[in-house]
């Protein structure tokens, strides 16, 4: 199966490329613009494989994307390219609209023209898999879970842009018959995550003797999914999911942020005993909340389990330890990022209002 993966140099896309190029019968073409979040070093272990190819390209560049489809002749597209960080969407939403909305439209339009010209046997195999987020459903209160039937109610510029892209993908299915499938997943964690996100930011702050900036009171809740479990779920959805359907992917690891940060502290302290802080309370600093901060996300993964027989393999404790050990042992990956791209400063505080 020849698969175009967009955003394959990012955190989740690179896990998908590493997994798929190791499976029999797959050939992968990664299309990535290499924004601040894209990093080809995440693909060093597979870059020499015969079944892996890379195109340095922006999904918004229609002519270039048409040529890539014509040359590669894909059987499927897995669309992960996006601006992905909520805090950055608060500071600068324009890039999110451009890539997540306009870029998805562009890819759909090219895929549709390509699909329409395919011979019948290839048309029946073709899939456009759009990778989205549980944030499209908005925020839960203290009860309940997101199911595939939950109404969309996005709240941040990021989640609104992802919800828009989901709607475009559904429209291309209903109007033009493009064979699509959509998956919406919860917060991912694991190796190679850009250090703007909660788990790597906190781990690297501890390794540098810097305090841990927890937004608000730290009681917002997220449902954590290991990136390798997510990559396996995505391959299953692509190959076994039903056309036109949505699948929610969650890790069944619902935790408050303060609980996650405490577990990061304990794990780092175990692995690197000489960190600068005597105890957790000394390490934490409660900072001004994220504007519009969603209270709680949690996924009901029943459909994935019953229909596709998928379950996450990692429990949070094992996954977090593996992740923190990876950051401790792979300084050469993140040190250049901290030097040249992002040094751990507060993002998304609606300028000038941060107290950290
Ligand atoms: P990421 O920010 O780590 O990577 C995004 C990748 O897309 C980067 O390699 C970047 O260079 C590339 N990219 C950005 N704009 C592009 C463009 N215009 N053209 C081509 N490439 C472009 O993101 P991630 O965390 O790996 O997320 C991947 C996908 O999964 C996104 O669609 C995101 O919305 C979704 N998602 C992420 C999470 C999570 O917890 N990280 C959870 C749910 C859904
Ligand atoms: O310094 C911080 N302090 C803090 O308290 C940071 C960076 C985050 N937080 C909180 C905000 C959130 O409640 O931690 C939680 C997780 O924050 P992020 O890592 O920024 O993730 P989130 O906003 O939940 O979004 C993530 O999951 C869904 C991904 O970035 C999205 O791409 C995905 O769609």
Which ligand places an atom closest to the C-alpha of 37?
1
Quick check: CB of 42 below 6 Å from ligand 1? no
Mean pLDDT by 10 residues, the chain (356 residues): 99 99 98 98 98 98 98 98 98 98 98 98 97 98 97 98 99 98 98 98 97 98 98 98 98 97 97 92 98 97 98 97 98 98 93 46
Which two structure tokens, joined as six digits, stand for 347?
């993002």
Ligand 2, pocket-test mutation among 197, 225, 226, most atoms within 8 A of CB: 197
Quick check: CB of 161 below 6 Å from ligand 1? no
Question: Domain for residue 304, yes or no?
Answer: no
> Which structural domain, as residue segments, surrounds residue 49?
2-189+226-249
Question: Domain for residue 297, yes or no?
Answer: no
Quick check: CB of 33 below 6 Å from ligand 1? yes
Active site residues: 134-135, 158
Number of H helices, E strands in the chain: 14, 13
Question: Domain for residue 7, yes or no?
Answer: yes
**How far does the centroid of ligand 2 lie from the alpha carbon of residue 92, in Å?**
16
Rounded to whole angstroms, the Cα distance separating 7 from 305 reads 27
Question: Domain for residue 255, yes or no?
Answer: no
* pLDDT score at 351: 61
**How far does the centroid of ligand 1 lie from the alpha carbon of residue 160, in Å?**
15
Task: Return the residue whose CA atom lies nearest to atom 17 of ligand 2.
Answer: 198
Question: Domain for residue 336, yes or no?
Answer: no
Task: Return the residue whose CA atom lies nearest to atom 32 of ligand 1.
Answer: 80
Question: Domain for residue 209, yes or no?
Answer: no
pLDDT in tens, 308-327: 999 999 999 999 999 999 99
Which ligand places an atom closest to the C-alpha of 58?
1
**How far does the centroid of ligand 1 lie from the alpha carbon of residue 10, in Å?**
6
Residues comprising the chain, all counted:
356
Quick check: CB of 80 below 6 Å from ligand 1? yes
> How many structural domains comprise the chain?
1
Decide if 263 contacts 315 (C-beta within 8 A): no
For residue 143, report the phi and psi dihedrals to the nearest 5 degrees: -110, 160
pLDDT in tens, 233-292: 999 999 999 999 999 999 999 999 999 999 999 999 999 988 999 999 999 999 999 999
* pLDDT score at 349: 86
Q: What is the CATH number of the domain that holds 7?
A: 3.40.50.720
Question: Domain for residue 325, yes or no?
Answer: no
Which ligand places an atom closest to the C-alpha of 198?
2
Rounded to whole angstroms, the Cα distance separating 128 from 75 reads 9
**How far does the centroid of ligand 2 lie from the alpha carbon of residue 63, in Å?**
35
**How far does the centroid of ligand 2 lie from the alpha carbon of residue 222, in Å?**
8
* pLDDT score at 352: 46
Cβ contacts of 90 within 8 Å, gap of 6 or more = 156, 157, 290, 291, 292, 347, 348, 349, 350
Question: Domain for residue 342, yes or no?
Answer: no
Rounded to whole angstroms, the Cα distance separating 224 from 254 reads 7
């Amino acid at each position: 199966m020849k698969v175009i993966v967009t955003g394959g140099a990012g955190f989740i896309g690179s896990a998908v490329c590493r997994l798929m190029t190791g499976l029999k019968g797959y050939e992968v073409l990664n299309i990535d613009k290499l924004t601040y979040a894209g990093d080809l070093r995440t693909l060093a272990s597979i870059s020499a494989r015969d079944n892996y190819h890379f195109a340095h390209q922006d999904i918004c560049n229609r002519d270039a994307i048409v040529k890539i489809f014509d040359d590669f002749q894909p059987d499927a597209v897995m669309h992960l390219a996006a601006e992905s960080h909520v805090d950055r969407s608060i500071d600068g939403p324009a890039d999110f609209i451009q890539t997540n909305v306009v870029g998805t439209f562009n890819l759909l339009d090219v895929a549709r023209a390509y699909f329409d010209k395919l011979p019948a046997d290839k048309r029946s195999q073709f899939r456009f898999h759009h990778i989205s987020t549980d944030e499209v459903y908005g925020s839960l209160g203290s009860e309940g879970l997101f199911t595939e039937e939950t109404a969309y109610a996005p709240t941040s510029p990021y989640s609104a842009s992802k919800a828009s892209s989901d709607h475009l993908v559904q429209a291309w299915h209903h109007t033009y018959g493009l064979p699509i499938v959509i998956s919406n997943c919860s917060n991912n964690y694991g190796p190679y995550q850009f250090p703007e996100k909660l788990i790597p930011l906190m781990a690297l702050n501890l390794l540098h003797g810097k305090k841990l900036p927890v937004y608000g009171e730290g009681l917002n809740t997220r449902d954590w999914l290991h990136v390798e479990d997510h990559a396996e779920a995505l391959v299953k959805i692509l190959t076994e999911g039903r056309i036109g359907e949505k699948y929610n992917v969650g890790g069944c690891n619902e935790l408050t942020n303060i609980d996650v940060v405490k577990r990061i502290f304990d794990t780092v302290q175990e692995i690197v005993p000489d960190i600068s802080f005597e105890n957790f309370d000394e390490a934490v600093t409660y900072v001004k909340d994220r504007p519009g901060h969603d209270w709680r996300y949690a996924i009901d993964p029943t459909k994935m389990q019953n229909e596709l027989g998928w379950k996450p393999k990692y429990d949070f404790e094992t996954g977090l330890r593996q992740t923190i050990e990876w950051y401790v042992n792979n300084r050469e990956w993140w040190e250049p990022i901290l030097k040249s791209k992002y040094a751990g400063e507060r993002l998304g505080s609606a300028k000038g209002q941060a107290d950290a």
